[in-house]
Structure 1
Amino acid sequence: MNDHFLQRQQLIKQKMAQQNLSAFLVLGHENIRYLTGFSGNAAYALITDCAHVLITDYRYFERAQNECQGFEVISRDRDNETLGRCIARFLGINSQLGFDAAFINVALWQQVAADLHAHTLIPIQGLVESLRMIKNDWEVTQIKAAAAIADQALAQTLPFFKEGVTERELALELEFRMQRLGSEGMSFATILMFAERTSLPHGSPSSRALNIGDAITLDFGAVINGYRSDMTRSYVLGEASTKQRTMYNTVANAQQTAINLLKPGINCIELQHAAQKVLDDSGYGAFSGQGLGHGLGLFLHEQPFINSHCGHVLEAGNVITIEPGIYIPDFGGVRLEEDILITATGFDVLTHAPKPFELEP
Structure 2
Amino acid sequence: MTIGVGGSDFATELAGLRNQRDAVPPIGAEEHARRVDRAQARMAELGIAALWLDGTTNLAWMTGLKHGQSERPVGAVLPVRGPLTYLCPEFEVEKLKTMLALPGEVRGWEEDEDPYALFSDILRSSDVSGGTVALDEMARVFVAEGLRAALPNHHFIASGPVTGYLRQRKTEQEVALLRQAMGMTLEIQAAAARGMREGVTTTEVGEFLAAAHRKAGFDGGPAFSIVLFGEATAYPHGVPYPQVLKDGDVVLIDVGAPLHGYVSDITRSYVFGEPTRRQRDIWNLDHAAQAAGIAVAKPGITGGAIDDAVRGVVVAAGFGPGHKTPGLPHRAGHGIGMDVHEGPYFVKGGKEILAPGVTGSIEPTITIYGEFGIRLEDHILITETGASWLTQPARSVDDPFGVA
TM-score over 0.5 (shorter chain): yes
| Post-superposition offset of 1:185 | 2.7
User: 1:16 is matched by which residue type in structure 2?
Assistant: M
Aligned partner of 2:279 in structure 1 is 244
Write out aligned runs for 1:308-319 (5 A). 308-319=348-359
Contact map agreement 1:167 1:205 (CA 8 A) in 2: no
| Post-superposition offset of 1:80 | 3.1
Deviations 1:68-122 (A, max 9, x none): 3253233444x233321221220227433524353233334434444x0544251
SS in 1 for 2:106: strand
TM-score after normalising by structure 1:
0.89
Alignment partner of 1:325 is 2:365: yes
Counterpart of 1:150 (choices 185, 193, 216) is 185
User: 1:238 is matched by which residue type in structure 2?
Assistant: G
Identity, % of aligned positions: 27
| Post-superposition offset of 1:354 | 4.5
Q: 1:148 to 1:339 in 2, by over 3 A?
A: same
Contact map agreement 2:134 2:158 (CA 8 A) in 1: yes
In 2, Cα distance between equivalents of 1:212 and 1:245: 15
Counterpart of 1:82 (choices 93, 108, 114) is 114
Q: 1:257 to 1:11 in 2, by over 3 A?
A: same
Write out aligned runs for 1:89-168 (5 A). 89-92=121-124, 94-96=129-131, 98-100=133-135, 102-114=137-149, 116-126=150-160, 127-168=162-203
Aligned partner of 1:173 in structure 2 is 208
Q: 1:50 to 1:221 in 2, by over 3 A?
A: same
Counterpart of 2:77 (choices 31, 43, 46) is 46
Q: 1:112 to 1:264 in 2, by over 3 A?
A: closer
Q: 1:263 to 1:106 in 2, by over 3 A?
A: closer
| Post-superposition offset of 1:345 | 4.1
Contact map agreement 2:48 2:134 (CA 8 A) in 1: no
Deviations 1:193-234 (A, max 9, x none): 111111111115632111111111111112111111111111
In 1, Cα distance between equivalents of 2:99 and 2:159: 29
Say which structure, 1 or 2, has more relative contact order (CA 8 Å, 6+ apart). 2
User: Please, which runs of 5 or more residues in structure 1 have no aligned partner?
Assistant: none
Q: 1:240 to 1:61 in 2, by over 3 A?
A: farther
| Post-superposition offset of 1:2 | 4.0
Deviations 1:327-359 (A, max 9, x none): 122222111110122223433322247455358
Aligned partner of 1:222 in structure 2 is 257
Contact map agreement 1:216 1:235 (CA 8 A) in 2: yes
In 2, Cα distance between equivalents of 1:332 and 1:264: 35
Counterpart of 1:185 (choices 220, 235, 242) is 220
Contact map agreement 2:211 2:221 (CA 8 A) in 1: no
Contact map agreement 1:222 1:228 (CA 8 A) in 2: yes
Alignment partner of 1:14 is 2:41: yes
